[in-house]
Amino acid sequence: MEILELPIEFEFNGQKNLIYPSLIITNNDLTLVDTGYANFLPLIENEIKKSGYEIKNLKNIIITHYDDEHIGSLYDFKTEFPWINIIASEIESKYISGMLKAERLVQAEALLDKLPIEEVEFGKWFIRQLKNLKHISVDEKVQDGSKILDGKCTIVATPGHTSGHISLYFPSIKTVITGDAAVNENDKLVIANPHFCLNIGKAEESLDKIKNLDVKTFYCYHGGKLSL
């Protein structure tokens, strides 16, 4: 088994940005962790090809949580490659499928009237982004301790950033894919966007939880790979 990070470079507000979806390779079957913003399918497909693999071997997509930069292209992937098995937590699947209104949208709408006037337009844009995300059903719903990918991956519930956030633990290679439970900031693991955490106390507990696992390498969606 091997894990690769897929550096996806894009421009946002005139600045260069990077995110790092992860690609898990098991017996030539591919599993993608998170899908970037809307319309990122071609960017991710290109990185998969550059890594020497073919998109036709993509068997699973794991969604760590419902945020627009993590699920933006999920609908496109499932439409283009309908055989893909979509995996997410029981909690997040309710938002991904549209069964419940997404926590992030509820939060954004509640904060809009409290924003400084210079941030109101961005707040409205962000709400539109969330409302424009297309819902899709989740094929495989997991919870804390679930084993997936032939038992090679253990689901770790890491709530805080969102209530149903999950991280992925691979004991045999001492590796965690963190989602937004942690970001790599100057070679340190820290909480992602603490001001937007739905529960900062739980986010701190989740960060401690993955730090205390037997781990040598963390794959962070924001900030990239961190090896201890």
Quick check: is 186 in a domain?
A: yes
Residue 196 has pLDDT above 90, yes or no: no
Nearest to 180 by CA among 136, 223, 126, 129: 223
Quick check: is 157 in a domain?
A: yes
User: What is the band of 5 on the pLDDT scale with cuts at 50, 70, 90?
Assistant: very high
Quick check: is 29 in a domain?
A: yes
Quick check: is 115 in a domain?
A: no
Quick check: is 109 in a domain?
A: no
The pLDDT tens digits for 60-90 are: 999 999 999 999 999 999 999 999 999 999 9
CA dihedral 9, 138, 93, 70 (to 10 degrees): 0
CATH number at residue 92: 3.60.15.10
Quick check: is 32 in a domain?
A: yes
User: What is the band of 54 on the pLDDT scale with cuts at 50, 70, 90?
Assistant: very high
The pLDDT tens digits for 143-172 are: 999 999 999 999 999 999 999 999 999 999
Phi, psi of 26 (to 5 degrees): -135, 110
Nearest to 146 by CA among 124, 128, 164, 169: 169
Residue 102 has pLDDT above 90, yes or no: yes
Give me the number of domains the chain comprises: 1
Give helix then strand counts, H and E, for the chain: 7, 16
Range of the domain at 96: 2-101+134-227
- Are 30 and 61 contacting, i.e. CB atoms less than 8 angstroms apart? no
**What is this structure's pTM?**
0.96
Q: What is the pLDDT of residue 12?
A: 78
Residues in Cβ contact with 38 at an 8 Å cutoff, skipping those fewer than 6 apart: 68, 72, 73, 76, 129, 132, 133
Residue 142 CA to residue 164 CA, distance in Å, equals 10
Q: What is the pLDDT of residue 13?
A: 74
The pLDDT tens digits for 135-144 are: 999 999 999 9
Quick check: is 112 in a domain?
A: no
User: What is the band of 98 on the pLDDT scale with cuts at 50, 70, 90?
Assistant: very high
